[in-house]
Structure 1
Amino acid sequence: MPEFEANVTAFMLVKTTPEWLRLSVGERVKAFETEVLPVVKAKAKDVRSRFFDTEFYSARVTDVWVWEARDHEAYQLLVDALRETPFWDKYFEVVELLVGVENGYARNYGVEAVASIEA
């Protein structure tokens, strides 16, 4: 996918289900590649993702999926696509959705964004 400016970022906090954990690592990879990714790619354009394991530090949330989207419509299409796959409620319980706009306050007030490290 060509680079784009992500205008919407969603932190999807999820917890693995026993059904997902019963699968071998190979079966998990195959399930994700065949049951989830094709639907997301077909229906949700202009999104990219990153995945973070958190089960080492949290019992309530095992993973955080960060989705960056060009706009709110792209994000909404992503969620609709995910809901049509076994990802949603079969393999993972969606615990929380936190959606935001990076440095929205700076854009709204026309000020420089405050950051601890320059990008």
Structure 2
Amino acid sequence: MSTEQTEAPVTAFILVKTTPEWLAMSPQERVDAFTTEVVPVIKGKVTGVTSRFYDTEFYSARVTDVWVWEARDHHAYQLLIDALRETPFWDRYFEVVDLLVGSENGYARTYGVDAVTTITA
């Protein structure tokens, strides 16, 4: 077993609420805004991040969407947040309600034990 420690990937759950400006756009305008106003900024400033988006407005009035960003390390995550803040998605199209940031199975790395999962086939 290697004793070399590597920094764990960071997962950020960014809880957001849509603004009236975002909702006034057509679906195609929203896609265009994301691909022209957000993606180029992120690609220009950050490497080692991926994203997924979840709609939650069916179940919550406070949080309408959850953005899940995975970054290879804390520095990539910090660059991502700096990049997002330079786009209209941050507090113009969406109100950022909360940031929940963690490392998957951090306890297992800390204590040198196997991660416990509940995945079943």
CA contact 1:6–1:68 (8 Å) conserved in 2: no
Partners of 1:8 and 1:102 within 8 A in 2:
yes
Deviations 1:6-57 (A, max 9, x none): 6100000000000000000011011111011100111111000011000000
Q: Is there any run of 5+ residues in structure 1 with no aligned partner, and where?
A: none
Give the superposition deviation at 1:117.
1.0
Structure 1 length normalisation: TM-score?
Answer: 0.93
The residue identity in structure 1 corresponding to 2:87 is T
Provide closer, same or farther for how the CA distance between residues 32 and 6 of structure 1 changes in structure 2, counting only shifts above 3 A: farther
Q: Which of residues 70, 73, 76 is equivalent to 1:71?
A: 73
| Greater gyration radius | 2
Give the CA RMSD over aligned residues.
Answer: 1.6
2:56 is matched with which residue?
Answer: 54
User: What's the offset of the Cα at 1:91?
Assistant: 0.3
Of 92, 95, 98 in structure 2, the residue corresponding to residue 96 of structure 1 is 98
Task: Indicate the residue corresponding to 2:39 in structure 1.
Answer: 37
Q: Name the count of aligned residue pairs.
A: 115
Q: Which residue of 1 aligns with 2:4?
A: none
Output the amino acid matched with 1:38: P
Cα pair distance change 1:117/1:64, threshold 3 Å? same
After TM superposition, what 4+ stretches of structure 1 lie above 2 angstroms from structure 2?
none
Whether the aligned pair in 2 keeps the contact of 1:6 and 1:70 (CA below 8 Å) is yes
Using the aligned pairs only, state the percent identity: 77
Structure 2: state its 5+ residue gaps.
Answer: 1-6
TM-score, normalised by the number of residues in structure 2: 0.91
Which residue, out of 105, 108, 118, partners 1:106?
108
